[in-house]
Amino acid sequence: MKFAQIIDFETERIDEVRDLLRAYEERARTQGRGNAPVARTLLKDRANPNRYLAVVHFESHEAATANSNAPETSELAQALSALMTRPTAYTDCDIVDEQGAG
């Protein structure tokens, strides 16, 4: 079953967050890691301009767990935590229905 994780965070340094995410994703693509995320959407809360939600899609919960346990993911999490203004919250979700963007 496909899996998504919602990452709820606040930052005043979103450009740096985006740069770190893009670099991480590029490394995952070039290294051909089978457990890497397959898609990511970054949302900005209109009511709280420093709050963001990242929705990260994986092929399965097992792939997400393997990705989470990868050393490069731990390094990313540590770098990102330095940019946050509050602790990050995570919500794990099974994808039960999905429509393509169009």
The 8-class DSSP code of residue 85 comes to S
The 8-class DSSP code of residue 47 comes to S
Query: What pLDDT, on a 0 to 100 scale, did the predictor assign at position 101?
Result: 61
Which segments in the chain show pLDDT lower than 70? Answer: 101-102
Query: What pLDDT, on a 0 to 100 scale, did the predictor assign at position 54?
Result: 96
C-alpha to C-alpha distance for 68 and 76, rounded to whole angstroms: 10
Query: What pLDDT, on a 0 to 100 scale, did the predictor assign at position 102?
Result: 52
Neighbouring residues of 23: CB distance < 8 A, sequence distance ≥ 6 = none
Which CATH architecture best describes the domain 3-56+71-94? 2-Layer Sandwich (3.30)
The 8-class DSSP code of residue 90 comes to E
Query: What pLDDT, on a 0 to 100 scale, did the predictor assign at position 81?
Result: 95
The 8-class DSSP code of residue 33 comes to -
C-alpha to C-alpha distance for 35 and 15, rounded to whole angstroms: 26
Alpha helices in 32-99 (DSSP H): 61-69, 71-81
C-alpha to C-alpha distance for 102 and 73, rounded to whole angstroms: 31
Query: What pLDDT, on a 0 to 100 scale, did the predictor assign at position 26?
Result: 87
